[in-house]
Amino acid sequence: MAEDFSELIQYLDQKFSKIDESFVFIEKELENKTDKSDVNNLINAVDAYTKKADAYFQEMVIFSSVEAS
């Protein structure tokens, strides 16, 4: 009975192999996009922290000069 369906089995095997390859490709593309967005999020977080730290240090300089007067 397996011989009766051998052509169908080969055909379906080829189709499923192509689908598997497509999923691997899509998975790799999604990983690359996720990595880029993660890096962008990290850069934005560092920039926000830098701005807050800069403002804080400027305030401390002003307060120390006022207290010294």
Cα–Cα distances in Å, from 30 out to 22, 34, 35? 12, 6, 9
pLDDT tens, 30-43?
Answer: 877 777 888 889 99
Assigned token pair, 5 = 């369906």
Would 10 be classed as within a structural domain?
Answer: no
State how far the Cα of 65 lies from the Cα of 53, in Å rounded to an integer. Answer: 18
What was the pLDDT predicted at 3? 64
Would 3 be classed as within a structural domain?
Answer: no
Would 62 be classed as within a structural domain?
Answer: yes
Domain that holds residue 69: 45-69
What was the pLDDT predicted at 50? 96
Number of domains in the chain: 1
